[in-house]
Structure 1
Amino acid sequence: MVELSYSFIDFIKGVTGKKYMVNLITYSIAPVMFKQKPSSIITISNEYKGMYDLWKTYGEEYLKYIDLDTFEIKREKDSLILLFYDKELLNKTLYHKTNMKFLTRFGYNYKMNLDEILEFLKERYKQTLCPHELGIFLGIPVEDVEEFIKCNGENCLYCGYWKVYKNKERALDTFKKYDESRIKAIKLLSENIELSQVKNIFTQ
């Protein structure tokens, strides 16, 4: 995973403007694009090569060419937090019996539809910097989210895309799939695809 991050840093070095925005976001959400993950959260800020301004200019166009939905969780001056999600997979994840039972601890309930759940998450963001239940939205196993809370983020078995407390082998297999999707994204992006071809990420 560390090597993958470095390879992407090398790949994106010197890239600017619209191409930088497309490369960075597509790489970040690749596991969602490949339906391996229900959602990904991205902070878009001008601290990173003017990403906020780039998003304001090209974001709407970009969204037309990816088969994902987005939800704005938080907006501040020159930055915003966006959730990119696969609607079918996120629904399946959130309404899973064990996950929803966990979510009810924070005020969510079975009667909420997906839009209402996302709006509730947005409200939760106003109360705390990063709500613990966000892990469920991102596809982290509920037992790892629960142990993270209980252990205050310490004493995990392994630290990868999330801190693993239970079933390390399953987590490592998931991390491998995430890495593979990002490697595939880098390969496709290196072919200098046009924005209209981004959807090819799903099919190649």
Structure 2
Amino acid sequence: MRHLVHRIVRCTAATIAGRKPATLMNISNDNGGLLDAWDRNRADIFSRSEIDYYELKRTDKNAIVLFFNQNLLDELLRNKSVNKFLSECEYESDSIDYVLDMLRRRYATVGCPPEIGVFLGIPLKDVKGFMGLNSLRHTKYGMWRIYGDPVLSEKRMNEYRCARNMIRGRLISGEDPVEIIRGNEFGFLNKPKFIHEDYLRT
């Protein structure tokens, strides 16, 4: 279990730290039996945590899991720009349950749906640029493909790197990774506000 929890914490650091609404992770038995450990321990790991999870795809060999902060994801889905974008992608509701179910169904039919980027903290302009829904030109590569002015996108990437380094430091210091997932010091009310007007600029 310990190896699994370390992997989850490292992968989802920016979500644990409140800097992005959700993180996608592939959990497989190819990596030391992580899928079996996931099935045995997931409920216990995330008890008393503001981080939740949802399996978007499942096979005998792996699970594609979306880890998300329910408060941040709900705030994102209530934003007018995001709501309009998802309507253009044929989403009919902004409820978390509906959106997660839509993502799961699209994963089953077309693979990873491109609109998932907005839930993963990628600026809306870059998600729409990748999908060909705006006129911005592809300008740079990074954690994702950047469209238009790279300043905002690179700022967001740096925030994610800082969150990852902070969480990594806590792991190196010997802190229990389960307690990092459950920790109150990253409580939602103490986090920098996620939704910024420039982040949602299209």
* TM-score range normalised by the length of the shorter chain: 0.7 to 0.9
User: Runs in 1 of length 4+ with deviation above 3 angstroms?
Assistant: 199-202
User: Aligned pairs, how many?
Assistant: 183
Report sequence identity in percent: 27
Give the corresponding residue for 2:176: 194
Equivalent residues of 2:56, 2:107 under 8 A apart: yes
**Of residues 16, 21, 24 in structure 2, which corresponds to 1:38?**
21
The aligned amino acid for 1:144 is D
Equivalent residues of 2:78, 2:94 under 8 A apart: no
**Of residues 66, 78, 91 in structure 1, which corresponds to 2:61?**
78
The aligned amino acid for 2:174 is N
- 1:95 Cα deviation after fit: 2.6
Structure 1: how far apart are the matches of 2:76 and 2:94? 14
Superposition pairs for residues 50-129 of structure 1, below 5 Å? 50-64=33-47, 66-109=49-92, 111-129=93-111
Equivalent residues of 1:33, 1:202 under 8 A apart: no
Deviations 1:74-95 (A, max 9, x none): 1110311111111111112123
- 1:196 Cα deviation after fit: 4.6
Structure 1: how far apart are the matches of 2:75 and 2:90? 19
- 1:58 Cα deviation after fit: 2.4
Structure with higher RCO (Cα < 8 A, 6+ apart) = 2
Deviations 1:105-163 (A, max 9, x none): 22202x44211121111111112111111111112122211211229xxx732222211
2:7 is aligned with 1:19: no
The aligned amino acid for 2:27 is I
Structure 2: how far apart are the matches of 1:175 and 1:49? 30
Higher helix share: 1
Give the corresponding residue for 1:162: 144
Give the corresponding residue for 2:159: 177
Structure 2: how far apart are the matches of 1:202 and 1:181? 16
Structure 2: how far apart are the matches of 1:182 and 1:80? 23
- TM-score normalised according to structure 2 size: 0.82
Structure 2: how far apart are the matches of 1:112 and 1:147? 22
Segments of structure 2 that go 5 or more residues without pairing to the other structure are: 187-202
- 1:202 Cα deviation after fit: 5.7
Equivalent residues of 2:171, 2:177 under 8 A apart: no
The aligned amino acid for 1:126 is A
The aligned amino acid for 2:122 is I
- TM-score normalised according to structure 1 size: 0.81
Give the corresponding residue for 2:119: 137
